[in-house]
Amino acid sequence: MKDVDAVDGDKDFQDNMEDTVTKRRAQDYEDLQNELADRETGRNARFLNKNSTTTQENESKRRAEKIFLSALEILLQNDLLYADRHAEVMDLLSRAEITTEQALQVAQQDLQNGQDQLDEMRGSANRLPEGTAVYRDAEGNVWTEDGRKIEGHELDGIVWKENAPSYEDILKQKRALEEARRHVEELRRYQIDVLGKHRDRMTDPDNPPSKDDMDDIEKDIKERAPESVRMEIMPEVETSSPSVDGKSFDTKGPPL
C-alpha cells in the first residue's frame, strides 16, 4: 500500500513540474515577443541586450513617425487660404463625380432601352423571302437597313406586315441609339480623363497642387463637363422674377 502511495506521489510531483515548465516556456515566449516589438510591459528585459544608444534611437524614430506630415497636410494645416481653396475645389470635384456617375447610369439605361427598341422594330419589319428586313419610306420606296434600294422583281417577294416601321422610323431610331452611345462614351471619358486625373492631383500627398494649379483644375472640370453634368454643377442664377401678363421684370432694378 505504501509503495502505491509513493508511486502516486511521484506522479503528481512530475505532473506539477511539467506544468511549471510549460507555463515558464509560454511566459518566456511572450516576453521575447514583447521585447522584439519594443512593447512596454513593466517587466525587465531578459533576452535582448539593448544599450542606451539603441533605445534612444528607437525612441527618436517613434517620435519622428508620430509627427511626420505630408507636404499636403502641412499646407492644409498651416495655410488657411490654401485650405479654403482646396476645400472649394474638392467640393466641386466631388459634386462632379457624383453627378457624372448618376448621369452615366441614366445614359447607360437609355442606351439599353434604345437598343431594345431598335431590336423590336427590326423584329416587326417587312422582309424579303430570304429574311432580310426592309422598310418603305414616305415616298413608297423600299430600302434595306444599310441603304440598299429594293427594286423590280425583289418587290414581289416581300412579306408585308401591318404596322411595320418605316424607313424614316428605323433611321431615326438608329441615330438616337448612336447619340445615346456617344453620350455614354463622353461621360466615361470625362469621368476618367478629367475627374480621375484631377482627384489624383488634388490628393497627391508629396506634390500638392499650387493655388494656380487649383484654378486650372476648377476651370477644366467646368469647361469639359458634358452638358448633363454642367447643368448640375453650374446652375444658372435666376436674374428675373416670374412674368406677369407676359412681361418679365428685372429684379436688379435700374442702375444707380
| 169-198: pLDDT as tens digits | 999 999 999 999 999 999 999 999 999 999
- CB under 8 Å, gap of 24 or more: what pairs does 110-115 form? 110/180, 110/183, 111/177, 111/180, 111/181, 111/183, 111/184, 114/173, 114/176, 114/177, 114/180, 115/177
pTM value is: 0.61
Q: Summarize pLDDT for 93-124 with one digit per residue, the tens.
A: 999 999 999 999 999 999 999 999 999 999 99
The per-residue b/e assignment along 58-85, b for 16 or more CB within 10 angstroms, e otherwise, is eeeeeeeeeeeeeebeebbeeeeebeeb
Measured distance CA(149)–CA(142) in Å, rounded: 6
C-alpha cell at 72: 499636403
Amino acid (one-letter) located at 65: E
CB 103 within 8 A of CB 226: yes
- Judged against a pLDDT cut of 60, whether residue 1 lies above it is answered with no
